[in-house]
Amino acid sequence: MKTPITCIFSFTFLLITFSCTTYIKPIHTESVPDSANITRKLILQNETQDVNFYGDYIFDKVDRKFLFFTNKEIRGVLSNLKLKPSSQVLFTYTRFSIYNNMLGFYYTGKTLADIKTNFSIRTPEKEMQNGLLYAYEYKGFYIMEVFRQEEKGVLRFISINNSAKQSVDKFRQENTGLFFEVNSGLLNP
């Protein structure tokens, strides 16, 4: 039987571990040479996915003056899905604070049906053969989430708008271009 001190230590350790999780950090992505835009190879569990980004996205460092959300707010957005991600596979932003900040997560062994069942925003704005798109507001931010079915799980992109500096229409235009034009093969209609 555990002593009260052991239980308190265990609880404190878990609390510190959970509260210290940071989503605002460079994530290892491999660059793919010879592409018109910036192509990054996202490392999923036992597979990879190439994703194209516009040339002004930054992957290798964090400059907080261009970020407009906190780890606590990301935890809140992540909690809209009652499934825990297996890993974080993307963090990127631009030097222009009006544009979106983006994160990516991978859910091993999950399907789009699991996402639809466990996502608190029940109705996707758009359903595709291999993906779902959700758009909603959260604490003054406009959020677009794209889920893509992979062979062994689901890839989740979370794009966050700085609503104070960019209209929702411009944000939607940026993400439509990113997910459906620059990455035209990523999601099948």
Residue 17 bridge partners (DSSP):
none
Query: Could you tell me the residue ranges of all domains in the chain?
Result: 57-182
pTM of the predicted model as reported, rounded to 2 decimal places: 0.87
pLDDT tens for residues 43-94? 998 899 999 998 889 999 999 888 888 999 999 999 999 999 999 999 999 8
Question: What is the structure's pLDDT at 165?
Answer: 84
Look at residue 2 and tell me whether its pLDDT is greater than 60.
no
Three-state DSSP class for 46?
coil
CA 149 – CA 107 distance, rounded (Å): 10
CATH of domain 57-182: 3.40.1000
CB 103 within 8 A of CB 81: no
Please name the residues in contact with 171: beta carbons below 8 A apart, sequence gap of 6 or more. 100, 142, 144, 159, 161
pLDDT tens for residues 94-148? 887 666 799 999 999 999 999 999 999 989 999 999 999 999 999 989 999 999 9
For the chain, give percent helix, strand, coil, nearest 5. Answer: 25, 35, 40
Q: What is the CA radius of gyration of the chain?
A: 17
pLDDT tens for residues 146-189? 999 999 999 999 999 988 888 999 999 989 999 999 999 999 87
